[in-house]
Amino acid sequence: MDDEYELKEVRSVLDHPPLYGETEPTKASLGRRILDSFKRDPNAHVIHATGADGKSYDVEGAVANTAASPLQRKLKGRHLQMIAIGGSIGTGLFVSSGAVLASGGPASVLIAYLLIGCMLYCTVHALGEMSVAFPVAGSFAHFSTRFLDPAWGFAMGWNYALQWLVVLPLEIVAASLTIDFWHADVSAAVWVTIFWLLIVIINLCGVRGYGEAEFVFSVIKVTAVVGFIILGIILDCGGGSEGGYIGGKYWRDPGAFNHGFKGLCSVFVNAAFAFAGTELVGLAAAETANPRKTLPAAVKQVFWRITLFYVVSLTLVGLLVPYTNPHLITASTVDASASPFVIAIRNAGISGLDSVMNVVIMIAVLSVGNASVYGSSRTLAALAEQGQAPGFLAYIDRRGRPLWSILISSAVGALCYLAVSSKEEQAFQWMMAISGLSSIFTWGSICLCHIRFRRAWRVQGHHLDELAFTSQCGVVGSWIGLAFNVLVLIAQFWVGFAPVGYREDSTTDLVENFFSAYLAAPVVLVSYIPYKLWYRTPFMRARDMDLDTGRRDLDVQDLIAQERAEQAAWPTWKKVYNFFC
């Protein structure tokens, strides 16, 4: 859109050049242009999505608002692909994997990450299909309003916003704690301030700034993981300076599993936390120049992320580090010294490389913090556009920034200063509890939305050939993804109610442990039930769903048919490559 506008301006100047003696209008100063960029976008118009009586909900108005959101479409294909490949690689992979290795053993880690990865593969493809067809603001939270129930959309929107709001201070503190790896004497408050300012400045640069930062962060993270995989294979085969051939000896002693089936169940939520952020690809669709071309490629990259960056790297970690390693058990879950990646390098006796890995961990943590501001601000703005949040949060300036939403997200991020308080541990335990299960509810809702969308698509007389991109897993994949999400919720309920080793540890507070593990569920219910009772929102029926507003592929059916005809004539190798990439 911006490129087309600039092209029109150039043509206008060429067609009507200034006459001799005339002067062109004086260009405003840089400071004035910066100040003007914060003014409300003149194209931003929000229709009230609630009735005059305040007790009814206008679904059509909410759909129209999100479809017409003035967010700028400046993300390119390379931005979207790197967000998909490395956008959420952070503490979940590099640090928290150590705690789950100690809890469940290497086989439990491998099984849990594989199952969550398969579930997520189905989920992201379902999200990709809907986001390509409807690249609207709010993405999956909006889809819940549109295809399920406005009350459930309200609950999912706030669930997702709260998840990222509390992740920001968590990640900033984790980044500051990585400095302790070098035994720095500088106060944690100094590092917290530096990292907080850096993340806020990046997000105030607009969606293009976020995209460029994530591109650089993701390149570093991907390079580090690939390098570790190569190093891990060498070390396992006996190439380290200390010790000889390792092979699978740690799977035999101390063993492949720890705490049996319950140990496996305890790994699931941590695995989900590690994958959290993959769905940001769908949220970014509204700010992508050409989602019909770039989003399918980004969605397919999830396959490589799951197999290469998580499964392969964690398999090597399980081969190189026994789950009885004292650093895994005694160190904090946000302490870089607890990272099994760092421990593996230290055990191999490679000097200096552990510091390099710690720098990568710090960058990865900052990357997730950067994504948390983006995810929460865009979700808050979309909720406001749908009449499900205070109206001022829908303020979008001329640079396409949801300004007030970014400021609110940044203000909540200031909770990171709890790192220097005496209540640090308790505060962050409860913030972790809010974010822990949030992704499971989000992913389950995406799968259910896709099932209902496909149902409405068929009932209203449409065919799959009309969609520019369809999920490789189909509706069956969405049913599988939904079932897996429900199973993870059940497993976490059991682990929360009766945690691993609670019989041997008499100091365990079962009530506190349950709510710290399952707090997201009450938050969702408290959001959903009162909203449902107050507005009496309807469950959306397939024949009543709006399948036209916000669609960008209405006028390209001939082009889609032509592209598919060309793809049918491709050689086999190219079809296989296109399937995965």
* Peptide bond preceding 150 in cis form (omega within 30 of 0): no
On whether residue 558 sits in a domain, the answer given is yes
Q: Are residues 482 and 575 in the same domain?
A: no
Three-state SS at 288? strand
* Token output for 502: 């609670």
* 471, 555: one domain: no
Give the separation between CA 295 and CA 247, rounded to whole angstroms. 40
Taking alpha carbons only, the member of 134, 124, 472 closest to residue 299 is 124
Q: 579 with 529, same domain?
A: no
Looking at residue 13, its pLDDT comes to: 45
pLDDT at 153: 92
**Is 321:343 a contact under the CB 8 Å cutoff?**
yes
Q: Are residues 178 and 302 in the same domain?
A: yes
532 and 567 share a domain? no
Q: Tell me, yes or no, whether 20 lies in a domain.
A: no
How far is the first Cα of the chain from the last one, in angstroms, to the nearest whole number? 27
d(CA 282, CA 127): 6
Query: 398 with 474, same domain?
Result: yes
Q: Which residues of the chain have pLDDT under 50?
A: 1-16, 18-23, 331-333
Residue 24 within any structural domain of the chain: no
Q: Which two tokens stand for residue 15?
A: 């067609």
Same domain, 228 and 80: yes
- Beta bridge partners, 139, equal none
C-alpha to C-alpha distance for 378 and 45, rounded to whole angstroms: 17
**Is 358 part of any domain?**
yes
Give residue 442's pLDDT: 92
Cα–Cα distance for residue pair 450/158, rounded to 1 Å = 20
Q: What's the CA gap between 548 and 252, in Å, rounded?
A: 58
Helices (H), 72-187: 77-86, 91-94, 96-104, 106-133, 139-147, 150-178
Instruction: Write down the residue that tokens 């999920």 correspond to.
Output: 471
Alpha-carbon Rg for the chain, nearest whole angstrom, is 25
The whole model's pTM is what?
0.86
**Amino acid letter, residue 575:** K
Q: What is the pLDDT of residue 483?
A: 93
56 Cβ partners below 8 Å, 6+ apart? 50, 535, 536
Same domain, residue pair 424 and 569: no
DSSP H helical ranges for 16-58 = 30-37
Q: Please state the domain count of the chain.
A: 2
- Give the domain range for residue 246: 76-542
Looking up residue 537, the CATH number of its domain turns out to be: 1.20.1740.10
Residues 6+ positions from 201 with CB-CB distance below 8 Å: none
Q: Domain check: are 268 and 340 in the same one?
A: yes
Examine residue 172 and state whether it is found in any structural domain, yes or no.
Answer: yes
User: Is 75 strand, coil or helix?
Assistant: strand
C-alpha to C-alpha distance for 377 and 401, rounded to whole angstroms:
9
pLDDT of residue 302: 77
Q: Are residues 412 and 496 in the same domain?
A: yes
Separation between Cα atoms, residue 329 and residue 331, nearest integer Å: 6
pLDDT attached to residue 7: 46
Q: Are residues 480 and 561 in the same domain?
A: no
Picking from 234, 253, 255, the residue whose alpha carbon sits closest to that of residue 245 is 234
| Residue in 554, 102, 136 with CA at minimum distance from that of residue 378 | 136
**CA separation, residue 16 to residues 4, 23, 28, 196, 407 (Å):** 18, 13, 22, 48, 43
**Position 87 in a domain:** yes
Alpha-carbon span 292 to 137, nearest angstrom: 16
Q: Is 36 among the domain residues?
A: no
Same domain, 472 and 558: no
Position 491 in a domain: yes
Report how far residue 536's alpha carbon sits from residue 527's, in angstroms, rounded to the nearest whole number.
14
Instruction: Supply the pLDDT for residue 338.
Output: 73
In the block, which residue shows the tokens 């909006």? Answer: 142
